[in-house]
Chains A and B, each alone.
Chain A
Amino acid sequence: SAVISQKPSRDICQRGTSLTIQCQVDSQVTMMFWYRQQPGQSLTLIATANQGSEATYESGFVIDKFPISRPNLTFSTLTVSNMSPEDSSIYLCSVAGGVSGNTIYFGEGSWLTVV
C-alpha cells in the first residue's frame, strides 16, 4: 500500500486567507485525488490530479477556488482560496494503487477550521 503524508495536519485559518495543503506519496503514482469531508458528512471528490495535465474538477468545484498543482509523480498541492467558514473541512489526498491500480488509499487528512 502507498504511504501518503499530508501537511498541515491541522490548521486554524482566518476568513479571506488562502492555505496550501501538501501531499507526498512514497511511490510514483499516476492518479492522485483530492477529497473533502465536511463536518459530519461523507467524502466528496474535489478533483483528480494527473501529472502533466490540468486537474479535472467535479461539479461544484472550480479551479479558482481550489487550484491544484501536480509537479511530479509523488507530490501534489491543493490550495483553498479566499476561505470562508463553509470551507472548514477535512481535506484528504488519495492515490490509486495496489496491483491493479484500482485500490484507493488515503492520507491522514488536513483538518482546516476557518474562523
Chain B
Amino acid sequence: AQSVSQHNHHVILSEAASLELGCNYSYGGTVNLFWYVQYPGQHLQLLLKYFSGDPLVKGIKGFEAEFIKSKFSFNLRKPSVQWSDTAEYFCAVNAGIKAAGNKLTFGGGTRVLVKP
C-alpha cells in the first residue's frame, strides 16, 4: 500500500522568505506525484504534477517541485512567498499505471501561514 508523509504540519514565515515543504512516499513501483493547494474556504486546486521526464517540475504561481527517486521525495519549493500563499498544501501520490486505478493517497497536509 502507498503512504505519503509530509514532515511539517504547520509552517509560519514572512513574506519574501523561501518555502520548502517536504513530502516522502512509500511505494515500490512507478508513481505519479502531485501537489495540491487549498486556500482558506476554497476547494482543492492542482499546483503541479510529475509523471515522468525532467524531475524538476514547475507549476502555477511560482511553485516548483523536485522528484528525487532515490529518496522517494517530492519536495515543494517557492523562492519568495507572498501573503496570498497562505493555504494548506497537500502532497499526493498514485500508482503510475492505469491498472492501479488512479487512486490518490494524500499526505496529512501542511498549513502555511505567511505573515505580511
Contacts and interface: CB of A to CB of B under 8 A. Distances in A.
Do A and B associate with each other?
yes
Contact-residue bracket for chain A = 20 to 34
Interface in A30-62: 31, 33, 35, 41-45, 48, 56
Interface residues of B, number: 24
Contacts of A108: 42-43
Interface string B64-95: 00000000000000000000000000101010
Nearest to A95: B102
A101 B98 CA distance: 8
Given A42-B90, A108-B43, A102 B108 contact: no
Chain A CB within 10 Å — which of B90, B96, B104 has the most? B104
Given A31-B101, A42-B90, A48-B101, A102 B107 contact: no
A43 B106 contact: yes
Contact of A104 (B43, B51, B98, B102): B102
A107 to B, nearest CB: 7
Interface of A: 1, 31, 33, 35, 41-45, 48, 56, 92, 94, 96, 100-109
Interface of B: 32, 34, 36, 42-46, 49, 51, 90, 92, 94, 96, 98, 101-109
